[in-house]
Amino acid sequence: MNDVRTIDVAKLPTLELGPKAPIWLGQLLMMVIEGTIIALLIASYIYTRATFLNWPPPNEEKPMWIQPTIGLVLLLLSAPPIWWSGKGIEEPNRRKALIGLLLNLVLAAAFLIVRWIELVRLDFKWTTDVYGSYVWSLLGLHTMHAIADTCESTMFLVILLARRVGEKQMQGFKVDALYWYFVVLIGIPIWFVVYIYPLISKWS
Amino acid sequence: MLSTIGAFIIGIGVLLYVMNALQAMASGGAAGANPWQAPSLEWATASPLPNYNFANLPVIASHTPLWDERGLGKVTGIDDTHREVLVTSLLDAHPEHRYPLPGPTIWPFLLAVTTTFGFAGSVFNMWDAIRGGLACAILLIGWFWPRREVDLLSPETQL
């Protein structure tokens, strides 16, 4: 054992961009909470579906799956640019960070437009029946997260352009990217449950 | 009957405690920081307790640090010009990095008030949830907006 019992930490870094930063873990826990809500919604959706002979209920149309699938592809394509942009923050390389973030924002905006058209076209409201409640809750929750993180990323674009990127902004950027991965990831099961599952599930 | 006996036992216990406190007040000096010669860290601070607990984080090497002949070690080098905490590894508590915390600001208070009104309003009017959310987004951006004119992505500031 060392006999010198004084530890000097003055030389330790004040910047940590990975999972050791408390804010990174905070974002992860927020994702666990929100992910649990979505898992519960999906589980109760499938349980409720099993009690119906026809799903969606006869007064509603079967979901159109082509347009939402295009939206999902846009969403999936938007993840690599923000990962690449995060690399640019770490290096640090402003051009890389800017280009990645811009590409991510364009794809996110395209996804949000596609999602908006989907929501406008729904021929039922959340008060119509239990099917309507599920569809609006799942899509609404996901859209809310997508809008929130797109706003956050837009703010980072402004900060990057204003050349005000300090240590906290770098950490915030990494956390913002983590949040977007979450939006992309939960988009997959939500797309399946809302648009594909009603087409393939049979009452038994 | 049983609960009556129990109540009396509790009563006697409280009475003993009060008598002990009164007797200690009447005679005897103030206890020191560690009257029991206990080994654990909560007895290492001064009595009465300062609100910062330890001026320097203590360094320990055993489960009974106050019985250690070498005494307590200490952590130095944490910046005392602003709020800062030490982040360590989970099991071995090996120091890994310093984490500066934000100073006092009005933004979280404004955010808390707005959140309250947004949620309370949404009980009566659905659109209050949207309005509250927008107001919160503006406040969050205001809170997060960088005050210091540094840019770590510019070549002249890179170390």
Q: Are A154 and A99 in contact (CB under 8 A)?
A: no
Q: Do B78 and A9 touch (CB under 8 A)?
A: yes
For residue range B2-56, what is the model confidence (pLDDT) as tens digits?
999 999 999 999 999 999 999 988 987 888 888 888 999 889 888 888 898 888 8
Q: Searching chain A, which residue's CA lies closest to the CA of residue B130?
A: A144
> Which range among A148-152, A175-179, A187-191, B76-80 shows the weakest confidence by mean pLDDT?
B76-80
Residue linked to tokens 């170390």: B159
What's the average model confidence in pLDDT over B100-107? 89
- All residues of chain B having their beta carbon less than 8 Å from the beta carbon of residue A163 are 151, 153-154
For residue range A49-61, what is the model confidence (pLDDT) as tens digits?
988 888 888 888 8
pTM (two decimals): 0.84
Give percent above pLDDT 90 in chain A: 72
Q: Could you give the CA distance from residue B50 to residue B150 in angstroms, rounded to a whole number?
A: 36
Residue B152 DSSP label: T
Distance from CA of A174 to the nearest CA of B (A): 14
What's the average model confidence in pLDDT over A167-185? 94
* Residue B121 forms contact with A (CB below 8 Å): no
At A1, the pLDDT band (50, 70, 90 cuts) reads very low
pLDDT at residue A110, rounded to an integer? 97
Q: Could you give the CA distance from residue A162 to residue A165 in angstroms, rounded to a whole number?
A: 8
At A136, the pLDDT band (50, 70, 90 cuts) reads very high
pLDDT at residue A61, rounded to an integer? 84
Q: List beta partners, residue B85.
A: B99
Q: Output the DSSP codes for A111-166.
A: HHHHHHHHHHH-SS-TTT-HHHHHHHHHHHHHHHHHHHHHHHHHHHHHHHHTT---
What's the average model confidence in pLDDT over A79-92? 94
Say what the ipTM of the complex is: 0.80
Size of interface A-B (CB pairs under 8 A): 100
